[in-house]
Amino acid sequence: MNYGKNNLSKKRKSISSKKKMKQKRVGVRLFKAVIICILLLAVICLIGGVIFAKKIIDDTPAVSVDDIRPKGFTSYITDQNGTVLETLKDSDSNRVYKTYDEITANTKYLPHAFVAIEDERFYEHNGIDLQGIIRAGVVGVMNGFNFSEGASTLTQQLIKNNVFDFVNEKTFFDKVERKLQEQYLALAVEKEMSKEEIIELYMNTINLGQGCYGVQTASTRYFNKDVADLTLSECAVIAAITQNPTRFDPVKNPEKNAERRKKVLDNMLEQGYIDQTAYDEAIADPVYDRIVQTAAVTEDTSPYSYFTDALIDDVIQDLMDEKGYSETQAYNLLYSGGLTIKSTQDTTIQQICDEVTADESNYPIVEYGVEYALTIHRADGTVENYSKENLGSYLRSSRNDSNPLVFSSEDAVYSAVEEYKSTLGINTEAGDIVDENLHITLQPQTSVVVMDQYTGQVKAIVGGRGAKTTSRSLNRATDSPRQPGSCFKIVSTYAPALNECGMTLASTIKDEPYNYANGKQVRNWDNKYIGNATVRYAILHSMNVCAVRTLTEVVTPAKGYQYLQKFGFTTLVNDDPDYPGMTDIAQATALGGITRGVYNIEMTAAYASIANGGIYTEPILYTEILDHDGNVLIDNSTPETHEVIKESTAYLLTSAMEDVITSPNGTGGAARMSNMAVAGKTGTTNDSTDLWLSAYTPYYTASIWVGYDENKSMNNMNQSWHMRIWKQIMERIHSGLEYKDFTAPSSVVQKTICRETGKLAVSGCPAVTEYFDKDTVATESCPGHRSVEEENTDDTNTDDAENNTGSSNTGDSSNTDDDGNTSGGGTGDSGNTGDGGNTEGGNTGSGGTGDSGNTGDGGNTSGGTGDGGNTGGGNTGNGGVTEPSA
C-alpha cells in the first residue's frame, strides 16, 4: 500500500469527488421532483381552473341585448293629443331614455367624459382591459393586497348594473365569480353591439346621485336642461359622480365632486378629447352655483289628478287581466317600465270642470269635514290607535250632535280635535309620542264625469273639490258608491218597459195608493195621486208610485235588475256573502233604493248608452299602452260594446228626458242650456242626502253628484244648485260647437193622441203629438173625453190638466224664484223643490215638480227617512228596500 502524501491526497480527492457526485445526483433528483411537483400542481390547478371556469361560465346567466338594457324608466301619461300630463316613476326608476344621437346632438363631450375617467381604452379593447387588470393587480399588491383599484370596462359596468345582483354579494368568492362572468359576457356583448350602442346603454343606466338614473334625469335635476345642451363643464360634473354617487354628489358634496371633475377634465385633455382652451374655460366655470339654483326647481311632489288616479287603477287591472301580471308586477311595470299611456283626457274639458267645481260661489254653504288618524306610543311601550270614527263617536255623545264630523270652520275642526285629544291622557313629558294625521275637506263635496257617448272615452273626471294633498286618494267619481235616487227610474224601469214590455210613452199608469209587497206604502213627493198618468208624464214629474208599479207589474224586479247589469252597473247586490240577506232584485230598485249605491262613472256610462242609440260602450280612460320601445302593449282603443235597448227606445227615453230639462214643470230646468239640446234625469235620495243630474247633449254625456261625505241631509238647501254647476260646465264645453237636436231614427213614428188616456185622439180630446216605436204604435182610439169641468176635482183644482197635478198648487207656496224655491217658504204641498223643482224663473204651477217637493218617499212630510233611511253610500236596511225621494 502506498501511504505517501501524494497518494493519500489523491485518495482523499477521489472520495470527496464521489461524495460530491452522489450529492449532486441527489440534488438533481430533488430538483426534478420539485419541478415535477410544480408541473403536476400546475396541471392540477389548470385542470381545476378550467373546471372552475367552466362551472362559472355554465352558471353565467344567458343574456340578450334586451337583458342588458336598463330596467327602470319613467312612464308617461299623455292627453288625447299626446301632450304629457303626468310622469310615473319609482325612486330608482326615473330614467328618461335618450339615444346616442340625441345625447351627442351638439357635442360628444359627455360620452368622452365617461370614457376618459372610467375606461380610457374603451374604443380599443374587446370588452376586457388586460392592461387595466395588470395595473390594478400591481397597485393592489403594492398597497398591501388592498385591491381597491378598478379595472372594469364600461361594458362590464353595464352588465354589472343590469344583469347581476352585486349588492347582495356576501363572500369574496361571490365577487370573483361575478367578475369572471362579467368578463365572459363582456366579450360576448362586444361581438354583438357597437361601441356607440354600448355607451348609449351605459349612459342611460348609471346611478348619478340624488335619485337620478341616466344622464337625462341627471341633466334635468342638476342643470334643468336637456342632456344635449350640457356644456363641457357640466358634462364633467355628471361624469365625476359615477364612481361613488354619494361621495361625489354635486349638491351635498360639491368640493369632492369638484376634485373628481378636475380629474375628468385632466384626463379628457390628456387623451385628446378637448384642447387647452376648452379645458381652461371649463375649469374657470362656476358651475356649482348653477346646481344650487336649480336644485329646488326640479322637485315635483304634487299629487296626481283624480283622472290620473282612476287611470292608474285601470291600467294596473288591465295589465293583470290581459297580460297575466301579478299586482306587484303590474305596479312595477307601470312605475318603472317606461310605458307611454295615451289617455282620453281632453285637457280643455278637464280644466273647465276643475274651475267650475272649485268655485265656492257655486255652493250654497261652505262647511268642513275631517279625515283623522291618531297613534299614541305610550312611554310603557303600548301603542294606541284612534280613527275618525272614534273622534265622531266622542263628539256625537259629548255634543249631542247628529253630524259631529261636519264643522262650520277650520278652527272648529282643530278645536274639536284638541278637545278629543285632551280626553286621552296624553303625557308627552312622561315620554308619550304622538303621530297624528289630520286632513280637512270642503263640504258638501262633488264628483263629475264627462264622457263621449260614441267612443266611450272619458274626457274629464272630478273626484272631489278642495286641495288634493295625496295621490290615489278617495275618488268620489270612481271609488265612492252613492245612492242614485230617481236617476234609476229610467234605467231600471222605463228602459225595459219601453224596450220589450209593450209600453209606450203614451201608456197610462194608475197613480193611486200603492203598497210594496211588505205592506209599506209607496208615496209620491206630495202624498197626492192624479189617477192616470202617461209614461212621459210620470218621467217628467218623477212619480214614485208610477215607477214602482211599472217595475212590479209590467217589468218585474228581476228583469229590471238584468237591465241594470246590461247598463254596466257593477255594485248591484244579490246573493252576496258580504251582504247577507240583501238583494237589489226588489221593488224599491225602481226608485234607486239599492244596497250599495253606484259609481258616478257607471251612472254616466249608463246614460251615455241612451245617448248612443241604446249601445252601451264601456267607459275608457286610455286608448293605448306602449312599452319602452314603442310597441303596443295593450290596445284599448275599441272598448267593449253591446246593445242594451233598441235605437227607438233610446230616442223615446231621450224625448221624455228632454221634457225633464225643457218643460216649465220639468225637474231639471236649472240645467237647460242656451246653446244645445239637452236630455236628462234628476235624482234625489232621502233627506236630500244625495243630489244627482245625469244628462247628455248630442255631443257629450255628463253626470254630477253632490253631497256630504258623512251623509248629512241637504233638505235645508236649494235643490237645484248642482244643476247650475252642470250647466256652467256643459255650456262652456259646448261653446263654439254647432247646435244639434236629437234626431229620431226611422223606426220611430209620430201619432196624435189624447194626452190623458194615451190613446189615439178623437174629437174633443186634448190632443198632443207623441212618438212611438213603429212596432208598438197606438192603435186604439180614445173612447171619449170628459169636459174640463167634470175633470177638475177638489183634490186636483187645476187650470191646465197638462201642467197642473194633484193639489200642489197651494196658495203662496206655488210660485218659485229662479232657484226653484217656493216664495212662501212653507212646507205645504209644494215644500222644498227636491231635485231642483222649477227653475230659471218658472212657476211650480200645478205641482209639476216631480222630483221636487219635500223629499218624496223619505222626506219631510213625515220627518223621517222611512225604512231606507241609511242612504248615501251605505246599506239601505230592510233587505235593500228603500224609499228615496223622487
CATH value at residue 134 = 1.10.3810.10
Residue 776 lies in a domain: no
Q: Please indicate, yes or no, whether residues 281 and 385 belong to a single structural domain of this protein.
A: no
Residue 392 lies in a domain: yes
Tell me the per-residue pLDDT of 611-633, one tens digit each, with 9 for 90 and over.
999 999 999 999 999 998 899 99
Q: Please indicate, yes or no, whether residues 250 and 117 belong to a single structural domain of this protein.
A: yes
Q: Would you say how long the chain is, in residues? A: 886
Write down the pLDDT at residue 491. 99
Contact 657, 673 (CB under 8 A): no
**Position 197 pLDDT exceeds 60:** yes
Domain boundary among the residues 394, 420, 443 is at 443
Omega cis (within 30) before 698: no
Mean pLDDT of 242-251: 93
Residue 82 lies in a domain: no
- Tell me the sheet residues that pair with 754: 767
Tell me the per-residue pLDDT of 362-372, one tens digit each, with 9 for 90 and over.
999 999 999 99
Tell me the per-residue pLDDT of 737-762, one tens digit each, with 9 for 90 and over.
999 999 999 999 999 999 889 999 99
Residue 81 lies in a domain: no
Domain boundary among the residues 405, 426, 443 is at 443
Phi-psi category of 630—alpha, beta or left, where left has phi over 0 and alpha has psi -120 to 50? Answer: left
> Please, what is the angle between helix 154-162 and helix 195-205, to 10°?
50
Q: d(Cα 230, Cα 363) in Å, to the nearest integer?
A: 51
Q: Quote the cell numbers at residue 169.
A: 354579494
In the block, residue with C-alpha cell 304622538: 434
Cα torsion for 854, 696, 455, 323, to the nearest 10°? -10
Helix extents (H) in 591-707 = 600-611, 647-662
* pLDDT class of 163 with cuts at 50, 70, 90: confident
* pLDDT class of 138 with cuts at 50, 70, 90: low
Tell me the per-residue pLDDT of 452-482, one tens digit each, with 9 for 90 and over.
999 999 999 999 999 998 898 999 999 999 9
Q: Please indicate, yes or no, whether residues 256 and 387 belong to a single structural domain of this protein.
A: no
What is the model's pTM? 0.77
Q: d(Cα 50, Cα 299) in Å, to the nearest integer?
A: 53
Q: Please indicate, yes or no, whether residues 372 and 267 belong to a single structural domain of this protein.
A: no
Least confident window among 135-144, 435-444, 747-756: 135-144
Mean pLDDT of 791-816: 35
More confident residue, 566 or 192: 566
Strand duo 383-387 + 367-377: pairing: antiparallel
- Domain of residue 219, residue span: 95-151+191-295
* pLDDT class of 41 with cuts at 50, 70, 90: confident
Residue 163 lies in a domain: no
Q: Please indicate, yes or no, whether residues 135 and 253 belong to a single structural domain of this protein.
A: yes
Mean pLDDT of 67-90: 90
Residue 137 lies in a domain: yes
Residue 205 burial (C-beta neighbours within 10 Å; 0-12, 13-18, 19+) = buried
Domain total in the chain: 2
Mean model confidence pLDDT for the chain: 84
Domain boundary among the residues 427, 443, 459 is at 443
Residue 112 lies in a domain: yes
Q: Please indicate, yes or no, whether residues 121 and 245 belong to a single structural domain of this protein.
A: yes
Residue 142 lies in a domain: yes
Tell me the per-residue pLDDT of 50-59, one tens digit each, with 9 for 90 and over.
666 666 565 5
